[in-house]
Structure 1
Amino acid sequence: MDNRSNIMPKSGSLLISEPFLQDENFVRSVVLLCENNELGSFGLVLNKLSIFKLDELLEDCELTNKEVYVGGPVEQNTLHFIYCGEQLLEDSVALGDQLWWGGDFNELIGKYKSGLVDITNFRFFLGYSGWEEGQLSEELDEKTWIVCDNSHTKKIFKVAPDELWRVILKNMGGDFQVLANYPIDPRLN
């Protein structure tokens, strides 16, 4: 079964870049789709580490030495986060399978200081990936993305970022296992 169809993915789905996508922002990317509607789409690249730690970006940040990922090329001066487990923050948006997007950052810091938050269940992002109205649909028609349901979201926090693209494709089975082994540049194979 080929998940590269024109069916619009829902929030919580993963977009897996096709093996030969050359856009430097999305080479071998796994994007968590946080919002997808008729006005456009919003997602976070899950497997691109930035060079920053959270305490380098925020003054007086209690979350020292926490990795920050590049969520995408749009508005890289903004900070976003996701977490897994039970809902911890009142304004978080459910993405399915105990995966949450956003919430009040001050509430997060307060709960962290009180010992109510396991920060290993959180991932922080600079910027985001965005598509205007109809753009993601066009990219799906062009087979730029492979849509994966949210059954693999627990791997987001357990698999090394540089292995996430390959691991999810392998776990999807069938023809996707073959795609997982494609070299980045087949000319060098």
Structure 2
Amino acid sequence: MVPQMILVMLNNIKPQTGRLLVSEPFMADPNFKRSVVLLTEHGDEGTVGYILNQVGNLILNDVIQDLWEADNHIYFGGPVAADTLHFIHRCYDKLQSGEEIGNGIYWGGNFETLKILLNTNAIKANEVKFFMGYSGWDTGQLEREIEQNAWMVSNISDTNLIFGNDDEQLWRDVIVNLGPKYAHISNFPVDPSLN
């Protein structure tokens, strides 16, 4: 029998574009288990974001044939429109396009220019991250899930975490960055029955 655990994870940070969602440690939805989601849009019409720490089995040149040496991993961005490709980057100086979401991070941009930059090795792997699909919430849905303690909201403390590739550690690092009140959560086992 698994002991029932009630976590009160309310913090004062509200969701908004450029912030992170961190799933509660025992989230049942397998799409979001121990996920960190970057919010790229949050407003009156809902919320859009990308799961930062679920790397997929594909690399970019598996999906786009004319990207000869683009061996960037493609991440599972979320369960919505899982057959669409999206990207975030921190190289506006090179790409000259994209919508700034904060902290020097940009959402999307001119993909043809990006392809040229990738093929000429002008962009490093840690400057851009690709996703298949996205995560989406209708108006008010995310706020309800936060009230039910499914998510914590965090500011971005270090953009290197966003573009890194240590998927398992990212969830823990973001929780620890919430402060000492939450740090103990990072040590919870994936399966509480093993505790």
Normalised to the residue count of structure 2, the TM-score between the two structures is: 0.88
2:68 is aligned with 1:67: no
Structure 1 segment 74-153 matched on structure 2, within 5 A: 74-153=80-159
Whole-Å separation in 2 of the counterparts to 1:167 and 1:159:
13
Whole-Å separation in 2 of the counterparts to 1:112 and 1:185:
40
SS in 1 for 2:134: strand
- Structure 1 residue aligned with 2:187: 181
Residue 16 and residue 87 in structure 1: after superposition, are their counterparts in 2 closer, same or farther (change >3 A)? farther
Whole-Å separation in 1 of the counterparts to 2:44 and 2:153:
18
Whole-Å separation in 2 of the counterparts to 1:152 and 1:175:
20
Whole-Å separation in 1 of the counterparts to 2:178 and 2:97:
32
What are the ranges of 5 or more consecutive residues in structure 1 without an aligned counterpart?
none
Cα RMSD for the two superposed structures: 2.0
Residue 185 and residue 114 in structure 1: after superposition, are their counterparts in 2 closer, same or farther (change >3 A)? closer
Point out 4+ residue stretches in structure 1 off by more than 4 angstroms: none
Residue 47 and residue 40 in structure 1: after superposition, are their counterparts in 2 closer, same or farther (change >3 A)? same
Identity %: 38
- Structure 2 residue aligned with 1:57: 63
Whole-Å separation in 1 of the counterparts to 2:100 and 2:69:
23
| Contact in 2 for aligned 1:81/1:102 (Cα 8 Å) | yes
Structure 1 segment 14-33 matched on structure 2, within 5 A: 14-33=20-39
What are the ranges of 5 or more consecutive residues in structure 2 without an aligned counterpart?
1-7
Deviates more, 1:4-13 or 1:116-125: 4-13
